[in-house]
Structure formats: C-alpha cells, structure tokens
C-alpha cells in the first residue's frame, strides 16, 4: 500500500473498533525493512485492518471463548501448537485475533502456512501482508531468531482436510517444530481449538481435481461445491480456545537430541497427547456445537 492507502486503512480500522482496542493493536511492532514491510512482506496497516474486520467474525460469528492467556509469553519467541481443522483455515485467524485481543501484551501471531499457499494468486499476498509465512524451515528459524510468536500446525493440511467422521482425532504431528523449539530454546504452547471441526463438515475429497489444481485436497462439504464459493462460508459454530502450559523440552534435553530421531518423535507425540487431552477436556465441557444455552 502507498501512504494514502495506509492512512485510509488505519482510518477504516479505527472506525471498526473501540479506541482503546485500536491503540492496543497499534502498539504491535514489526521489523520494518524501511518501506513498511518486514522480510516476509508483513505490513502493519494491512494487519491492523484485517484484525478490525476479523474481530467481527471472532465476536459475532464464532463467538470465541478462550482461556489460558497467561501461558503466552509477553516477549521472546514461542510456538503456539494447535489442532487444525475446518476445511477453510479460519481457526488460525481466530487464534491470531484472540491473542491480539486478550493476551497480556498484544502480539502478532506468525502462522507458518502450507507451501501451496505460495501458489495461490491474491491469497499469497494477503497472507504475507497479515504476517503469515510460507513453511520453509529457514523462515521458521528466522522468525524464532527474531523473537516472534509463531504458530505451527503440525497436522498440516491433513488436519484441515480430514473427513468429518475423524473430527477431533488429531492426525500424526510432524516433528519439525520440536527440532526448532529445541534448537532455539523456544517454549511450545499446546493449544486446543474446539468448534472448528464442525464449521464445515467434510464428507468427501475430490482427489483428481485437487491434483489438477495443485491443492492438497478438494473438499465436498454439506454446502460446497453445491452453493459455489458461498458454500465455503463456515457454519457459525462456537469456538473454544485453550492455551496450555508451556512445554520447555530444551530444559531437559540438550542439543544432542537433535540427532536422535526417535526422541524427537517421542517429544512430538508428547505434544500431540497434550493437545488431544485439551481437546477432549474442551469437548467434555462443551454443551452445544453452536453454543446454544451457553453464557
């Protein structure tokens, strides 16, 4: 955006939220390379405007409730590790909005997104501008070295593209995040998102079309593709987000563990179990998918 567009973006954002919330969000800092962008293409004004819009989805569509914000560090690098689901990855956006809104200190969550996002016109630009980063190892490493709050979804696209009958059963976690956590002495914050699995129940996957379009999956849901792009709008399920206590494996394990694939796998499994437990706990507490009858 040029100067005029940035000014307009901030003016719109200011109108869309209360002044104290605007000031809070504006207090975020980016590692500006000189023209208002960081090395991954994030632009503060675009991130603030996107937040201003997404907070309505957060407040009025998914009616997000969350707990455990005290586990999110105020400074320094940390890895948010949630489950991932819902065909359209709005769960990540809701966690991002939640952290900006409710964490003790507002921080931008830098989600490490799947490689295929880089192919998608417009989507790739939007994702970069709001702080999302393509999941190359080097990017991840740079984010942690810069002391950023990162989110990684170790289930990857297997998580968001899983069928409805597998809801809330985590797909096997990838291990890269454990290695990076150990190498950078970064705490892992296990996070559970309850509610996203039902937002777009996936009943099928058109693999040939997915292959043709270079997508990881091509979903068939109750509404997509029958209603066209509108069919991708998720149902207004109620979200519950919980942040668990930080897991600091680097306090127990030295760098030599990085050369031990079995131990790394074991640590990834540990995180997966904690997240699964948190999900199960959230499901037990939940009274209704749509939050009917909840306060």
Partner 1 sequence: MARARQKARPEGHKEKTKNVLITGVTTSIGRNLVTHLANDPQVGVLLGVARGEKPYYFNDIPPERFVYRQCDILKPRELKNLFLSKTFRETDINSVVHLAFQNRPVRGENTHRLNVEGTRDLLRKCLETPCIDKFVFKSSDVVYKLLPHNPAYLDENADLNFDPTADQWVKDRVDADMICRSFMDNVHVKIVILRMTNIIGRNIEGQFNSYFDSKPVIKTMGFNPLVNLLHMKDVIQAITLALMKNVHGIYNIGGLDTAPITTFADLNGSTVLSLPEPILAPVNWLQRKLGLTDYYYSVDKERQKYTALLDISKAQRVLGYKPKGRIEFSH
Q: How far apart are CA 291 and CA 237, in angstroms?
A: 7
From residue 258, alpha-carbon distances to 177, 179, 261 in Å are 12, 6, 7
CB 123, min distance to partner 1, A: 8
Q: How far apart are CA 295 and CA 292, in angstroms?
A: 9
> Which residue, among 86, 50, 71, 76, has the nearest Cα to 159 in the 3D structure?
86
> Which residue, among 223, 174, 216, has the nearest Cα to 198 in the 3D structure?
223
The site for partner 1 (CB under 8 A) is made up of 2, 33-37, 39-41, 115-122, 124-125, 128, 133-139, 142
Residue number, 9 or 64, with CB nearest to partner 1: 9
Residue number, 34 or 254, with CB nearest to partner 1: 34
Residue number, 116 or 250, with CB nearest to partner 1: 116
Q: How far apart are CA 271 and CA 121, in angstroms?
A: 34
CB 4, min distance to partner 1, A: 10
- Helix, coil or strand: residue 151: strand
Residue number, 142 or 269, with CB nearest to partner 1: 142
CB 145, min distance to partner 1, A: 11
Pairing of strands 219-221, 202-205: antiparallel
CB 60, min distance to partner 1, A: 30
Residue number, 1 or 289, with CB nearest to partner 1: 1
44-56 helix and 19-26 helix, angle to the nearest 10 degrees: 140
CB 122, min distance to partner 1, A: 5
Q: How far apart are CA 66 and CA 240, in angstroms?
A: 6
Token pair of 152 as six digits: 């990684």
Enumerate residues 6+ apart whose C-beta is below 8 A from 36: 1, 6, 43, 44, 45
242, containing H or E segment: strand 240-243
CB 115, min distance to partner 1, A: 4
Residue with token string 């979903």: 219
Residue number, 120 or 232, with CB nearest to partner 1: 120
CB 37, min distance to partner 1, A: 6
Residue number, 2 or 295, with CB nearest to partner 1: 2
């Amino acid at each position: 955006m040029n100067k005029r567009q940035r000014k307009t973006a901030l003016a719109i954002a200011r109108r869309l939220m209360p002044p104290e919330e605007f000031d809070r969000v504006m207090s975020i800092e980016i590692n500006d390379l000189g023209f208002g962008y960081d090395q991954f293409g994030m632009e503060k004004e675009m991130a603030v405007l996107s937040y201003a819009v997404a907070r309505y989805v957060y407040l009025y569509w998914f009616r997000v409730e969350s707990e455990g914000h005290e586990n999110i560090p105020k400074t320094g690098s940390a890895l948010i590790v949630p489950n991932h689901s819902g065909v359209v990855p709005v769960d990540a956006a809701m966690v991002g909005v939640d952290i900006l809104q409710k964490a003790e200190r507002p921080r931008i969550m830098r989600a490490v997104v799947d490689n295929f996002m880089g192919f998608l016109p417009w989507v790739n630009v939007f994702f970069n501008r709001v702080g999302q980063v393509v999941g190359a190892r080097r990017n991840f490493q740079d984010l942690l070295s810069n002391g950023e709050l990162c989110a990684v979804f170790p289930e990857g696209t297997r998580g968001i593209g899983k069928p409805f009958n597998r809801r809330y059963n985590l797909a096997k976690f990838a291990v890269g995040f454990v290695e990076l956590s150990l190498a950078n002495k970064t705490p892992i914050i296990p996070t559970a998102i309850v509610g996203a699995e039902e937002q777009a129940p996936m009943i099928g996957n058109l693999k040939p079309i997915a292959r043709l379009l270079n997508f990881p999956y091509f979903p068939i849901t109750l509404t997509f593709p029958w209603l066209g792009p509108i069919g991708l709008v998720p149902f207004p399920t109620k979200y519950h987000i919980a942040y668990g206590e930080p897991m600091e494996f680097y306090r127990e394990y030295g760098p030599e563990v990085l050369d031990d694939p079995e131990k790394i796998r074991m640590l990834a499994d540990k995180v997966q179990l904690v997240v699964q437990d948190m999900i199960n706990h959230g499901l037990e507490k939940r009274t209704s998918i749509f939050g009917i009858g909840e306060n």
